[in-house]
Chains A and B, each alone.
Chain A
Amino acid sequence: MKDPRSADELVSAYVDGELPPEEAARIDARIARDPEARAAVDDYRRLDRLVREFEPPVISAKRWARVRAAVTSSAPPRLESTDQVRRRRWNRIFRLRATAFAAGLLAAAACGLFAVLPRRGPVEPPPPPPFELDVEPDSRYIPQIMTSPDGEVVGITVLSLPGDDEEVAETPKKKDAPEEHE
């Protein structure tokens, strides 16, 4: 399997003394023949020294005392005694049991309610309003089936035949009625 670490990473780890002896020996050999690797090793060591030399500004005793007071004035947590731990555990168990009991009660009440409530059948839709034809009295009507262009039945209507139709308008004459003369 290929080592995921790059050759340069190994040089960096070599500077820090973090390589096992056999790997360190390989880097030793590389440094001896590769001036670039040698320069990198020297620079890494100088860099560490340089950073280490820079100490932060000194903090006065008075300031440290202020920070210490701020830090120690906050309330720290306290170690619980065995009794406290036991009590807390029992409290937790009690709360769990109480919750389970309450949930059981609720479930039982819901079941009871379901059993007691009267059951109703399925609700039927209201009947449609009676069909009324808007027709003229004393007329004759012929029912008509309405179809779409595809021949599908879409409704029913009536054909009204008003009195101007000769056949329809002809009403039977009374036998004893006198004839009209112009």
Chain B
Amino acid sequence: MVSGGRQRDRAHAKRSAELRAADAELVRRALEGEADAFAELFERHRDGLYRLAWHYTRDEERAMDLVQDTFLRAHQALDRFRHEASFSTWLRRIATNLAIDRERSKKGEEVELDEIAHAEPLAAQPGRAPAEGPVEAAELAELRRDLAHAVGSLSVPHRAVFVLHAVEGLSYREIAETVGCELGTVMSRLHYARQRLREKLKGHLTEGAAG
């Protein structure tokens, strides 16, 4: 068991190092003026960044805006990328800062929660298998709405830490690097976010446990 886990960790570390080296090479080529190099970086990271942006904003349009602005900023500031962190960590950091800035500038508006409340049901989304029956579809839609409400009620710094951990699977150290805070802050923010979500989704969590 233990040796299997270690092998997996080693393989994961090796894969990460390869990806990082490939990104570094693409960054170097983009800085030398090779037009396709940045396009390739875009292709490699767009899906991961979109998933993160969608979990931050819970809205397709806003998520796409955030992705576009993040890549634009990264492109413009490419010569300031120091390779101290991986390129994907750098992109996530830009996206997280942009999301936090936008939330701050929007503070006081109640648009966000209203939009979340009327979010499209999951079963109706393209690319997803429809729920088995109308009851299941309705339950799924309700769960999606409640989840969106609960996650949307968190401040972006708390949401960011939770999403980076739960969705992106980052370690505390990687989250601290991405968000730019201490390990202890990551731990306390994550704990606070979980407590809030647990409180708001109590019914769904219990049903899930029963099912």
Residues of A participating in the B interface, judged by any CB pair closer than 8 Å: 4-6, 8-9, 12-13, 16, 18, 40, 42-44, 46-48, 50-52, 54-59, 63-64, 67-68, 70-72, 74, 76-79
Can you offer 19 A-B residue contacts whose CB atoms are under 8 A?
A12-B190, A16-B165, A51-B162, A58-B126, A67-B68, A67-B71, A70-B72, A71-B38, A71-B68, A72-B42, A72-B75, A76-B38, A76-B75, A76-B76, A77-B31, A78-B31, A78-B32, A79-B32, A79-B79
Known: A8-B191, A57-B126. 19 other contacts (CB 8 A): A4-B184, A9-B187, A12-B194, A18-B187, A43-B205, A46-B208, A47-B166, A47-B198, A55-B127, A58-B125, A59-B64, A63-B64, A67-B67, A67-B68, A68-B39, A72-B75, A74-B75, A76-B33, A77-B76
Shortest CB-to-CB span from A60 to chain B, Å, is 9
Query: Is B120's beta carbon under 8 Å from chain A?
Result: yes
Complex Cα distance A74/B77, Å?
A: 11
Complex Cα distance A51/B197, Å?
A: 10
Question: Could you say which residues of chain B place their CB within 8 Å of the CB of A9?
Answer: 187-188, 191
Asked if A58 contacts B42 (CB within 8 A), the reply is no
Complex Cα distance A163/B166, Å?
A: 118
Asked if B198 contacts A44 (CB within 8 A), the reply is yes
Shortest CB-to-CB span from A77 to chain B, Å, is 4
Shortest CB-to-CB span from B200 to chain A, Å, is 10
Shortest beta-carbon contacts, A-B, top 8: A56-B54, A58-B127, A79-B31, A77-B79, A12-B191, A71-B71, A48-B166, A9-B191
Complex Cα distance A16/B43, Å?
A: 30
Asked if B63 contacts A56 (CB within 8 A), the reply is yes
Asked if B127 contacts A47 (CB within 8 A), the reply is no
Q: Which applies to chain B's interface (DSSP): helix, strand, loop or mixed?
A: helix
With A9-B191, A71-B42, A72-B39 already in contact, the answer to whether A56 and B50 are too (CB < 8 A) is: yes
Question: Could you say which residues of chain B place their CB within 8 Å of the CB of A51?
Answer: 55, 147, 151, 162-163, 166-167
Question: Could you say which residues of chain B place their CB within 8 Å of the CB of A59?
Answer: 50, 60, 64
Asked if B209 contacts A46 (CB within 8 A), the reply is yes
Query: Is B201's beta carbon under 8 Å from chain A?
Result: yes
Residue count of chain B within 8 Å CB distance of chain A: 58
| Residue of B120, B187, B208 touching A5 (CB-CB under 8 A) | B187
Question: Could you say which residues of chain B place their CB within 8 Å of the CB of A57?
Answer: 54, 60, 120, 125-127
Query: Is B30's beta carbon under 8 Å from chain A?
Result: yes
Question: Could you say which residues of chain B place their CB within 8 Å of the CB of A54?
Answer: 122, 144, 147
Query: Is B195's beta carbon under 8 Å from chain A?
Result: yes
Closest to B202 in A: A43
Asked if A71 contacts B201 (CB within 8 A), the reply is no
Find residues 25-73 in chain B having any chain A CB closer than 8 Å to their own CB. 28, 30-33, 35, 38-39, 42-43, 46, 50-51, 54-55, 60, 63-64, 67-68, 71-72
Asked if A44 contacts B64 (CB within 8 A), the reply is no
Q: Mark B147-187, 1 if CB is under 8 A from A, else 0.
A: 10001000000000011011100011000000000001001
Asked if A55 contacts B128 (CB within 8 A), the reply is yes
With A12-B191, A67-B67 already in contact, the answer to whether A56 and B198 are too (CB < 8 A) is: no
Most buried by B among A42, A47, A70: A47
| Residue of A16, A50, A64, A77 touching B78 (CB-CB under 8 A) | A77
| Residue of B32, B120, B166 touching A52 (CB-CB under 8 A) | B166
Question: Could you say which residues of chain A place their CB within 8 Å of the CB of B195?
Answer: 8
